[in-house]
């Protein structure tokens, strides 16, 4: 008997709860605030056409209406800004996004129209990424691998040749012991065994720390900085935390994940 009453009460409670949810949702839809109404009227007339074309992607569905979760609200804000920036091809909108998410915003626009982005809007790592990605997408959209050589990011440069000319990144066309990817990393000619014509082939020079595209040795001391030599104490700790062998390789500044250390690495590189 008690069990039956319990079941009936549970069903009743569920029913009342469902009705409450439905009514609540209907209220939200049926009674927009006056300002909302005015805004939407204003928008609906002029942007009707645009809105049809600018349908939001499905992931933004969860972002419509009131969001109570702070984290979700933040993500939605970023996604909406990126969505707007890419739709309008307006990279300046990416500046409204936190530094760590800005790169995705820039790249998303570059993928659609590389010519539309002014990379001077961005500084530091974002500027470097913007310039490299811009050249990469320009090269691909124009099917012009000559542009690949102008890409600053060496790995991206190799990928550019791989996509346009179908070059095998691990192949060794000139038989000098360096793969295509390695040739790109060292700035050597992948079709020439001895890029600088000094009588020593590229891989021999690289192995022995000689400059394969110029005179003399690569001076390791000028491109490596020991963490202990850094005067700024915080930076010294950061350096030890992030670097293998307690050493910053200035040639690899762009691979450093910490924004702070990355900027410091660049400042050292520029001071050489």
DSSP 190: T
Smallest distance from Ca ion to CB 183, Å: 5
Where on the chain is the footprint of Ca ion (CB under 5 A)?
172, 174, 176, 178, 194, 196, 198, 200
Specify the residue for token string 């609540």: 24
Residues 6+ apart with CB under 8 A from 196: 205, 211, 212, 213, 214, 215
In terms of CB distance, is 79 or 205 closer to Ca ion?
205
Smallest distance from the beta carbon of 165 to Ca ion, in angstroms?
15
CA–CA separation, 227 vs 17, rounded Å? Answer: 63
Instruction: Tell the residue number behind the tokens 């605030």, with chain if given.
Output: 33
* SS3 category, 198: coil
- Residue 114 or 190 with smaller CB distance to Ca ion: 190
Question: Token pair 């969860």 is at which residue?
Answer: 62
Quote the least distance from Cβ 201 to Ca ion, whole Å.
Answer: 6
Closer residue to Ca ion, CB minimum distance, 72 or 213? 213
In the block, tokens 């001077």 appear at: 120
Asked whether the beta carbons of 134 and 118 are under 8 A apart, the reply is: no
Please, which residues bridge with residue 226 across strands? 247
Query: Considering beta carbons, is residue 32 or 187 the nearer one to Ca ion?
Result: 187
Question: Closest CB to Ca ion among 22 and 149?
Answer: 149
Residue 27: both structure tokens together = 């209220």
- Shortest Å, Cβ 177 to Ca ion: 7
């Amino acid at each position: 008997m008690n069990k039956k009453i319990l079941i009936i009460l549970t069903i009743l409670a569920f029913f009342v709860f469902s009705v409450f949810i439905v009514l609540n949702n209907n209220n939200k839809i049926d009674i927009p605030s006056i300002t909302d109404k005015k805004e939407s009227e204003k928008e609906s007339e002029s942007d009707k056409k645009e809105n049809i074309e600018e349908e939001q992607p499905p992931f933004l569905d969860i972002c419509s209406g009131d969001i109570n979760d702070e984290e979700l609200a933040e993500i939605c804000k970023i996604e909406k800004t990126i969505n707007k920036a890419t739709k309008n091809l307006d990279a300046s909108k990416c500046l409204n996004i936190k530094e760590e998410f800005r790169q995705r915003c820039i790249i998303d626009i570059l993928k659609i129209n590389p010519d539309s982005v002014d990379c001077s809007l961005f500084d530091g790592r974002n500027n470097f990424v913007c310039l490299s990605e811009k050249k990469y997408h320009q090269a691909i959209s124009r099917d012009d691998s000559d542009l690949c050589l102008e890409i600053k990011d060496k790995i991206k440069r190799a990928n550019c040749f791989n996509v346009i000319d179908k070059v095998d990144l691990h192949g060794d066309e000139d038989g000098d012991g360096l793969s295509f990817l390695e040739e790109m990393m060292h700035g050597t000619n992948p079709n020439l065994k001895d890029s600088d014509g000094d009588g020593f082939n590229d891989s021999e020079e690289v192995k022995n720390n000689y400059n394969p595209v110029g005179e003399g040795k690569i001076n390791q001391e000028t491109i490596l900085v020991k963490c202990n030599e850094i005067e700024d104490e915080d930076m010294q700790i950061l350096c030890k935390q992030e670097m293998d062998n307690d050493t910053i390789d200035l040639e690899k500044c762009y691979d450093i994940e910490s924004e702070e250390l990355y900027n410091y690495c660049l400042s050292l590189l520029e001071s050489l």
